[in-house]
Chain A
Amino acid sequence: MKKDSGNYIVEVENLTKKFGSFIAVDNISFKVKKGEIFGFLGANGAGKTTAMKMLTGLLNPSSGKAIVAGWNVETNPDKVKLNIGYMSQKFSLYDDLRVNENIRLYAGIYGLKRSEIKIKINKLIGELGMENLRKKLVGDLPLGWKQKLAFAISLVHEPPVVFLDEPTSGVDPITRRQFWEMIYKASSEGTTIFVTTHYLDEAEYCTRASIMVDGQIKALDTPENLKNRFEVDNMQEVFVKLARG
């Protein structure tokens, strides 16, 4: 049953994932407010990806509970899938499909009507400034364009929350900057952003950030509060202090 989630779009309680005897995600609990940009930070192997996979329905939790967009990920994965957007770190699009065809495909998969799809394609391409690239194969696009397109496509069905898995890995600083502008824009339009990253300067752009170490969430607050609490100047140092224990 759909849960009236009040102010929260993601609610996680005692979520755990074990692979054999290895505990990838260890009893984490947190809540993400509607409309915020939630940074999900951690070193490689800290359990971010596993946690994210559980929230997006790719993995079943070993125990605990997660409510995403009002639906339990374990009992109503189909409802969750309809209500979330997802962008992987590979900016996975189909290289041998044109820009407009990629948009049409995902719009179709998310069940948009034919008339809606047409409008959507024009709108997205206009917003991205890709009018000239509309008929180009995605494989011929520079990485930065692919990244922007992948993000726009993850929002094609206007989900209340979008999960971004290391969305800025491998692109140059200017493109990263532009990408964060897109994130802000989506956020200002009311979409909740759940983003993992290992660029800690990006953590400063988040409304709130959580830091995962060894499968547990060691800190969760606004970047400002975190820096004050650890008496340091930037998130990088917050992270180092936490990771060293």
Chain B
Amino acid sequence: MKAFLAFLKKEFYHIWRDPRSLLILIGMPMVQVILFGFAITNEIVDAKIAILDNSKDEVTQEISNKILSSKYFKLFEYLTDKNQIEKSFKKGKIKIAIIFENDFSQKLNRNENPQVQIIADATDPNTATTLINYVSSIVFDYQSKYLKNKSGGLNVVSKMEYNPGLKGVYLFVPGIITVILMLISAMMTSISIAREKEKGTMEILLVSPIKPLMVIVGKVVPYISLALVNAVTILLLGVFVFGLPIRGSLPVLMLEIIIFIITALGLGIFISTKVETQQNALLVSLMGLLLPTIILSGFIYPIESLPEILQYISHIIPAKWFLIILRDIMIKGTEFRFIIKETLILFGMMTFFLIISIKNYKIRLE
């Protein structure tokens, strides 16, 4: 125990004595949350729009007004001719153009299905899709109200549950927590163990009476604390700066976070048993852990939109399950009993990675 405490103290020295890394470790998560929260957002505000209204009657006027009065669009110009559309796009001035055909309201009255054409600049497909959805929903909205006044007809009422404001932060904060925890826990432990190997101090430790398990635990404890500090910082930022809710149980949330941290630490130790230098440790963690965590976890790209093969691969990415759990607890306020499956999967992964990493670490001694 005394040996362990001496070792643990040394680990904290390593962290404190490296202010640059410490600054990155503590500062990076905050910068990321703020960047993602403020700068990178899915919401589109004031997209420039051009309208070509060939009928100029009360219906097209009303639809145009509805579109322009929403915060999403800002009128760039009214067009008078089809040929102007191309030019307007080319100049990069507008993101979307709307064309109403002739005699719009008469056709509507005669049930002839007049056409509204929406043309979007798809150089950025995500923005284009979003804008088209905005316009379509406004048009449908008008249509359903119009039909309701005339006769019966269908009426669609939609509600964006859990995130009525469609805030991007709801999506990003859990994602950033996932990435940061993976980064700190796995990358930093693997680098820190690889450093001992590279400098030759691992050899001295192996010859000394300190137990290998104690070495691993000693490596892991400082990073668990650091990762927890980070998780709490990000949560606080999310809640108090961006108004993110934590609707579910906080203790359950913390428990899940700890399970995920230990999973990542297990991965980090596993990586360190396979590499000899800090550089390799860094490279393997970045390529092997960070990229899949970002791409295959559902953080940035919805898993449903991935190619089928990647969807299968995403099942073995711990971050995917953790992200589901995080979003469920924080945004939906899901009770623990509904996320037992995901928790068990994550717990299984944690156990698996811990066992193989400790096993591999021991084999190196023989």
Interface residues of A (CB under 8 A from B): 56-60, 78, 81-82, 84, 86, 88-90, 92-97, 101, 104-111, 137
Contacts and interface: CB of A to CB of B under 8 A. Distances in A.
Interface stretch (B1-9, B30-38, B126-134): B1-9
B231 to A, nearest CB: 26
A94 B10 contact: yes
Interface residues of B, number: 24
B208 A106 contact: yes
A92 B206 CA distance: 12
Nearest to A79: B209
Nearest to A84: B207
B207 A56 contact: yes
A189 to B, nearest CB: 21
A92 B200 contact: yes
B207 A57 contact: yes
B110 interface: no
B210 interface: yes
B277 to A, nearest CB: 14
B14 A109 contact: no
B204 interface: yes
Interface in B182-211: 199-201, 203-210
Given A97-B17, A101-B10, A110-B3, 16 more contacts: A59-B366, A60-B366, A88-B203, A90-B199, A92-B199, A92-B203, A96-B18, A97-B13, A105-B9, A105-B10, A107-B6, A108-B9, A109-B6, A109-B209, A111-B2, A111-B209
A84 B207 CA distance: 8
Interface of B: 2-3, 5-7, 9-10, 13-14, 17-18, 199-201, 203-210, 365-366
Contacts of B2: 108, 111
A134 to B, nearest CB: 16
Nearest to B204: A92
A101 B207 contact: no
Contacts of B6: 104-105, 107-109
Contacts of A57: 206-207
B365 A96 contact: no
Contact of A109 (B13, B200, B208, B366): B208
- Which of B5, B14, B18, B203: most chain A Cβ within 10 A? B203
A162 B18 CA distance: 33
- Which of A84, A86, A94: most chain B Cβ within 10 A? A94
A110 B209 contact: yes
Nearest to B14: A96
A58 B207 contact: yes
A84 B203 CA distance: 14
Contacts of B201: 92-94
Contact of A88 (B14, B17, B204, B365): B204
